[in-house]
Structure 1
Amino acid sequence: MSETVVSNMPTDPDAWVKAQLRDISLKRLRHGVSVWALRVLVIGGALALWQSLVAVGWLDPFVVSSPQAVGTFLLENLGTGKFWADVQVTVLATLIGFIVASIAGVAAAFVLAQSKHLHDVVDPILTFFNSMPRVAFAPLFVVWFGLGITSKIVLAFSLCFFIVLSGALVGLTQVDSDLNTITRQLGANRRQHFLKLVLPNALPSIAASLRLALIYGFLAVVVGEMIGSSNGLGQQIAFYSGVLRMDAVFGILLVLGILVSAAVALLRMVENYFLRWQ
């Protein structure tokens, strides 16, 4: 038995560790390549099916357009300054509303987490406002704040704030009771208890709520631009829908999808950096 154990032990521990790390890196690389290959295959297959159904007449190109027509629209418009100016307006309004809502949501959650009495007082009030479809307030915000970027920022804030508040509040309040007891018994003061236990426990929940809030922030801004705006991608969607240019509508939706996916991916990278201890 002892001879078997000795024979299985690596003769060079450093080389063994390097080999294990190399194997892990190769597995991650193969996994990443396979994931992206399947993604390209699924998307390419869907586009090919769409184009084929239009070509054989099973789908009306006037109603659903086609990948070829969408690609032609993008090639003709992606190089124009007007298109990217509208992209900039939409992204700017979303980021401002999202950032302000994130700061306010996390701060409000921290205050509510410190006082159960205060939380019990305002919880039904927050639930009442959160239950309202804020997108339905878009016409009112346009009336109150005008057709400019301010009404879109306010609309994005109204959606993002409650999402971040709910996620942060869950993370800050739902800490394992045994861990709370242990940190107190080990002599941790209030500051140490928050920084070493409560905040790390809340970060994953806060990060998840931020990703969701960013997506809904884009949704709010685009809806606000569709209802009343002189620029922005939402205004373009409303205009091209009115003139029945489905190729343009699908093209703009594709650009929006890429923008939101890139923003969420960037946010996930930041999240992975701060949560690398996990």
Structure 2
Amino acid sequence: MSGVVKPLISRSPGQVFWFFVQIATDGTLLPALYSTVEATVVAFVLASFVGVVIGIGLGLFPKVEELLDPYISAFNAMPRIAFAPVFILLFGVSQAAKIALAFSVVVFILMVNARAGIRTVDRDIRLMVTVMNISKRDMFMKILLPSAVPSIFAGLRLGIIYSLLGVVTSEILASRVGLGQLIAGYAGTFQLEGVYAVCIVLAVIASLLNAGMALLERYLLGARAL
């Protein structure tokens, strides 16, 4: 049994490397790479903005949060991949469908983290600030928002990876171009060396995105400390 299965699923590092060289030089890889990275970044930026704004709003207004929390929790609990056919019907097999699926995944991560960050401010500090007659604007800009920044950045680092995951998942399901589409195509024709090569590319992209967010976090938090 092992002699039958092993050749079907295993490929040597040399086979994977030369397949990577082939797709990198014949014009297959770059368009797919660009499409995936573009959709990932767009979805991440949009979801980050919307998620952080809503999360901060929920943290600032507990009554609104109490009203909306059951609906937010219910929607967040749903597997977002189930919405992929809906997004494809709405936007077609396009970049917009990929962005929509990734957005639906990432926005809740940022929403939850931003809300949690606002909540980290101790109630006694809030009361003290209120007694000191500090304006609401100053309280938000100088106390609440700085306190929420570490939690928001934790969400951003997680969100950029999940944005990539959402885009690739959408591409595997239905896409004309993208790294996920390459994986689906190579898997369908049993070109496992191609699947492994693209997966390695995705691992490198994820590592670079995570490292980039870590550097940005270190820079901004360091500047804030100064």
Q: What is the TM-score with the length of structure 2 in the denominator? A: 0.92
Answering whether residue 151 of structure 2 is matched by residue 199 of structure 1, we say no
- Paired position in structure 1 for 2:212: 266
After TM superposition, the structure 1 = structure 2 runs for residues 91-240 of structure 1, keeping only pairs within 5 Å, are 91-240=37-186
- Paired position in structure 2 for 1:9: none
- Paired position in structure 2 for 1:253: 199
* Distance across 2 between alignment mates of 1:77 and 1:227: 21
Q: Residue 192 of structure 1: CA displacement?
A: 1.6
Answering whether residue 16 of structure 2 is matched by residue 70 of structure 1, we say yes
Encode CA deviations 1:185-213: one digit per residue, 9 max, x unaligned. Answer: 44422122111211111001000111111
* Distance across 2 between alignment mates of 1:159 and 1:165: 11
* Distance across 1 between alignment mates of 2:13 and 2:128: 60
Q: Residue 253 of structure 1: CA displacement?
A: 0.4
Q: Is the 8 A contact 2:60 2:118 kept in 1?
A: no
* Distance across 1 between alignment mates of 2:26 and 2:67: 53
Q: Residue 70 of structure 1: CA displacement?
A: 1.0
Structure 2: tracts of 5 or more residues without a match: none
- Paired position in structure 2 for 1:10: none
* Distance across 2 between alignment mates of 1:127 and 1:65: 43
Q: How many residues align?
A: 222
Report 1 or 2 for greater relative contact order, CA contacts < 8 Å, sequence distance ≥ 6: 2
Q: Is the 8 A contact 2:114 2:148 kept in 1?
A: yes
Encode CA deviations 1:16-60: one digit per residue, 9 max, x unaligned. Answer: xxxxxxxxxxxxxxxxxxxxxxxxxxxxxxxxxxxxxxxxx7x82
Q: Residue 220 of structure 1: CA displacement?
A: 0.7
Q: What is the TM-score with the length of structure 1 in the denominator? A: 0.76
Encode CA deviations 1:224-261: one digit per residue, 9 max, x unaligned. Answer: 11111111011000000001111110110000110111
Runs of 4+ that moved beyond 4 A: none
Q: Residue 80 of structure 1: CA displacement?
A: 3.1
- Paired position in structure 2 for 1:79: 25
Taking only the aligned residue pairs, the percentage that are identical comes to: 36
Q: Residue 221 of structure 1: CA displacement?
A: 0.7
Secondary structure class of the residue paired with 1:81: coil
Secondary structure class of the residue paired with 2:134: coil
* Distance across 1 between alignment mates of 2:61 and 2:127: 19
* Distance across 2 between alignment mates of 1:234 and 1:97: 16
- Paired position in structure 2 for 1:42: none
* Distance across 1 between alignment mates of 2:61 and 2:122: 18
* Distance across 2 between alignment mates of 1:197 and 1:81: 51
* 2:165 maps to amino acid: L
Please tell me the root mean square deviation across aligned C-alpha atoms, in Å.
Answer: 1.8
Larger radius of gyration: 1
